[in-house]
């Protein structure tokens, strides 16, 4: 009997925590003072607002939005790609956009980098645009070793998980020298088997980084889910660019991409 009571308490506590997170997210999302700082509906030439790491990516603008495709050779690091905002942002940040997967892969990940700057040691200048030439082949290590940033991966798959099971995970860069990237950059918890990001289905994504909290909200295909993290450990990450990363073979459609700041 006591195990059923314990189980019930766990369920009730989890439901309470979820309700509290939802209320906090709504309050933050609805705050007065969010200033629109970046806007791209995806229909016009992408080069106006973005620059690209990776020589084999394909980017197409159309009335449907911005179609961003990494290179198509699985396992070839030259086929990774990152699309960076030309503009940098400081303070609290909120992003909203519509996202549709255009691949059917069950490997690799999509990533959003938030407040990305170089570590400041030559040649990794704080302004990452000054060392773009070092990222012509966008090795993952060029980012997690030499940038300060938050990284959220979604529509993501790992060989250690059952086939087809996705995950959402938050990380903080850079990795400490000689430390294990997977274990030491993660900000828990990770979320698994979300049931989201079905190829061909459109989702509205809202990402908010405010003070010590980080929110990732997804709505679409009849679902609405919120994921949240305590980011007290990332207090030093306060400014920088936003980047969209596709690992090799991944592609997605983006539209109505907006970034708001709140200082």
CATH 2.102.10.10 fits 34-262, yes or no: no
Closest among 135, 136, 157, 154 to 144, alpha carbons compared: 135
> Dihedral of CA 238/239/242/243: which sign?
negative
If we measure between CA atoms, which residue out of 114, 197, 113, 116 comes closest to residue 154? 197
Whether pLDDT at 129 is above 70: yes
Q: What is the pLDDT at residue 17? A: 56
Mean pLDDT of the chain: 93
| pLDDT 10s digits, 193-219 | 999 999 999 999 999 999 999 999 999
What global pTM score does this model have? 0.93
DSSP alpha helices (H): ranges in 145-227? 181-184
Tokens at residue 203, please?
């989702």
């Amino acid at each position: 009997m006591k195990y059923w009571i314990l189980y019930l308490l766990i369920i009730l506590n989890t439901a309470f925590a979820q309700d509290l997170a939802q209320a906090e997210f709504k309050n933050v999302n609805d705050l007065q003072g969010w200033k629109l700082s970046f806007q791209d509906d995806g229909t016009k030439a992408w080069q106006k607002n973005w620059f690209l790491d990776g020589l084999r990516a394909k980017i197409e603008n159309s009335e449907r939005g911005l179609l961003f495709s990494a290179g198509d050779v699985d396992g070839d690091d030259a086929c990774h790609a990152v699309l960076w905002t030309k503009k940098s942002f400081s303070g609290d940040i909120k992003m909203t956009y519509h996202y549709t997967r255009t691949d059917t892969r069950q490997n690799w990940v999509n990533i959003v980098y938030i407040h990305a700057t170089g570590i400041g040691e030559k040649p990794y200048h704080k302004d990452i645009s000054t060392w773009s030439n070092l990222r012509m082949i966008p090795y993952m290590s060029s980012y997690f070793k030499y940038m300060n940033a938050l990284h959220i991966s979604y529509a993501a798959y790992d060989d250690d998980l059952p086939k087809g099971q996705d995950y959402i995970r938050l990380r903080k860069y850079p990795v400490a020298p000689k430390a294990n990237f997977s274990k030491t950059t993660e900000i828990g918890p990770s979320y698994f088997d979300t049931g989201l990001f079905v190829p061909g289905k459109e989702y509205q994504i809202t990402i908010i980084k405010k003070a010590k909290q980080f929110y990732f909200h997804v709505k679409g295909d009849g679902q609405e889910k919120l994921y949240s993290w305590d980011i007290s450990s990332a207090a030093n990450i306060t400014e920088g660019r936003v980047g969209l990363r596709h690992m090799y073979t991944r592609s997605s459609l983006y539209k109505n991409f907006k970034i708001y700041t709140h200082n």
